[in-house]
Amino acid sequence: MSLSRDEVVDAAVRLLDEVGLDALSLRRLAGTLGVSAPTLLWHVTDKRTLLDLVAQRIVAGAQDAAGPTPDEPWWSWLGDRMRAQYRALLAHRDAARVVAGNRPTADALPAIERVLDVLVGVGFPPGEAMEAVFTLGHFTLGSALEHQAEAARGATPPDPALVAALGELPRLSAVIAARAEPDPEATFDRGLTTILAGLRLRQAELAGSTGDAAGPSVPAEPIGSTGHTGDAAAAV
């Protein structure tokens, strides 16, 4: 049968959702596609290459190369991208584990270049812009990884030793008591807002040192408020 690389990657994403990362193998994928393992190797040389392609496919919708619209603040545009990426990671089983440590494919490079172009355009040196990309990507990926790992663990009865230890820690006990039910998306959004606020303050410092303000320099909203309701999103 005639088989394209896109068909192989699409099938791998479906198989990942069905059986999870640990059970995903080239042999099993070949069986799903109805081809021999050597035929599959014409399209992907090994499992790591396959996972790099799967990682890119999972986050592709959140990594388009379009920049901010003329009236869109750069931090708002960047936050929306990360929320979209977070949603994309949570949409597929074990996606955070797949994306962790992947190498970008050629298809991903224009989107990364666009983010760097936007950040450099508002005053960040290229090296700092790349560090911002890593910071945002690591936070988003780590948040998704924690969410999926906790979901895989499932509900467990409280550990009596842990409950007893909390009795000696009044601040931690009060915080836990105040959170009726953890909301991972809200936690992600608050963390993302804090990172973006820090980037805006850094951009203000850079603009002040050059005397060239590149857009509003101070957060217009308090840290922890994003202006998005229920919105949540590796490399950018």
For the stretch 134-172, pLDDT in tens is 999 999 999 999 999 888 876 677 778 877 787 778 888
Q: Where are the domains of the chain?
A: 67-92+105-210
CATH architecture of 67-92+105-210: Orthogonal Bundle (1.10)
Tell me the per-residue pLDDT of 167-226, one tens digit each, with 9 for 90 and over: 778 888 887 777 766 688 889 999 999 999 999 999 999 998 765 544 443 333 333 333
What are the angstrom distances between the C-alpha of 196 and each of 40, 50, 95, 122, 176? Answer: 43, 33, 24, 14, 26
Buried b (16+ CB within 10 A) or exposed e, 107-143: ebeebbebbbebbeebbbeeebbbebbeebbebbbeb
